[in-house]
Structure 1
Amino acid sequence: MDANMEFQSDTQTLLGKKEKVYIDTETGEKIYAEQITKRAYGQKQFWKIYLMDFLHILGLADSKQIDVLIYILQNTEQANNTFVGTYKKIAKEANVSEPTIAKIMKKLQENHFIIKVQNGVWQVSPNIMMKGSEHKKSLLLNYYDDSMESSEKDSN
């Protein structure tokens, strides 16, 4: 490790500063700048699924529930944990009846796996599944928690 590098264990980040000299090729002028290097280690760009939470959500899962859950997992937008799918579309794609989809989606909402944003648009809980860094997780959690509060107010 470079002597100018410092590892911060709480954030799993390596920080370093180094003076750099750049030469303007037209004028020959020397330009002095401080280069800052930051490398984050550990959790970075991955799908994270918390098995115990899934088992809790599924309860005594039958294969239709698993088919729907897999469909949601495969079609969740990684940038913002949004899943877009009407009951009709999910039923067709996962080969499950619409009444069964309605029951499964209700169960997923009751167990805080998803929040209904609007018809056909769902927010998947970053507490249970997300792709990205811890910083992204905290941003998504703030959005998810705000959405959950809004949906609870709407249902009361």
Structure 2
Amino acid sequence: MAKYDKSMEYISQTQTLIGQQRKRLVDQDTGEVIEVDQITKRALGQKQFWKIYLMDFLQVLGGFEYKQLDVLIYILEHTEAANNTFIGTYRSLEKSVGVSYDTVRRTITLLQGKGFLKKVSNGVYQVSPTIMMKGSEHKKSLLLNYFNDKEQEPQKED
């Protein structure tokens, strides 16, 4: 019978529990009993990676100028994983990225035209889950339903 060391250490940076226990294993060929230390690492809130659908993403990148890529990178880095939304006005992007208002306007217009962004309201955009998302396929289908249901007239940015 295995003896368990009930001490488990929680590491917050990686959201994992790490523990150790002593196990007795039997060699099937010789019948020899071997005692070993088993180290257990259990991820609690497994951090998920962003999924980028390459072919669709490459189509989005086509036709971008250098400064427009800076705006896109900022949007990618600041998209909320829970609901695929990016929050930022043209003016806040202009200041944060260090590009002109016109560059921000042209970039957002281009991203909307390519189906990467959909405007939810002034300063709030949803990134298409068919191009980029974080989470399961079930979450993707929920986000996609929301993305496709938001058929709104383009509104003028402040």
TM-score past 0.5 threshold: yes
SS at match of 1:76: coil
2:12 is matched with none
Following the alignment from structure 1 to structure 2, what is the Cα–Cα distance between the partners of residues 50 and 142? 18
Matches within 5 A, 1:63-74: 63-74=66-77
2:29 counterpart residue number: none
Quick one: which of 136, 144, 149 aligns to 1:146? 149
| Gaps in structure 2 of 5+ consecutive residues | 1-46
Which has the larger share of helix?
1
**In structure 1, distance between residues paired with 2:65 and 2:51:** 23
Q: State the TM-score, normalizing by the size of structure 1.
A: 0.65
Distance in 2, Cα, partners of 1:99 & 1:65 = 10
Between the aligned partners of 1:120 and 1:60, the Cα distance in structure 2 is: 24
Percent of aligned positions that are identical: 61
Alignment partner, residue 58 of structure 1: 61
Larger Rg: 2
- 2: CA distance between counterparts of 1:97 and 1:55? 25
- Given the alignment, which residue of 89, 94, 99 partners 1:91? 94
CA distance in structure 2 between the aligned counterparts of 1:114 and 1:52, rounded to whole angstroms: 16
Q: Given the alignment of the two structures, is residue 121 of structure 1 paired with residue 124 of structure 2, yes or no? A: yes
Structure 1, unmatched stretches of 5+, are: 1-43
2:140 paired residue number: 137
Structure 1 residue matching 2:118: 3-state secondary structure: strand
Give the structure-2-normalised TM-score. 0.65
2: CA distance, partners of 1:138 / 1:126: 8
Kindly indicate whether the alpha-carbon contact (under 8 Å) linking 1:91 and 1:101 is maintained by their aligned counterparts in 2. Answer: yes
- CA-based RMSD of the aligned residues comes to 1.4
Residue identity opposite 1:50 in structure 2: Y
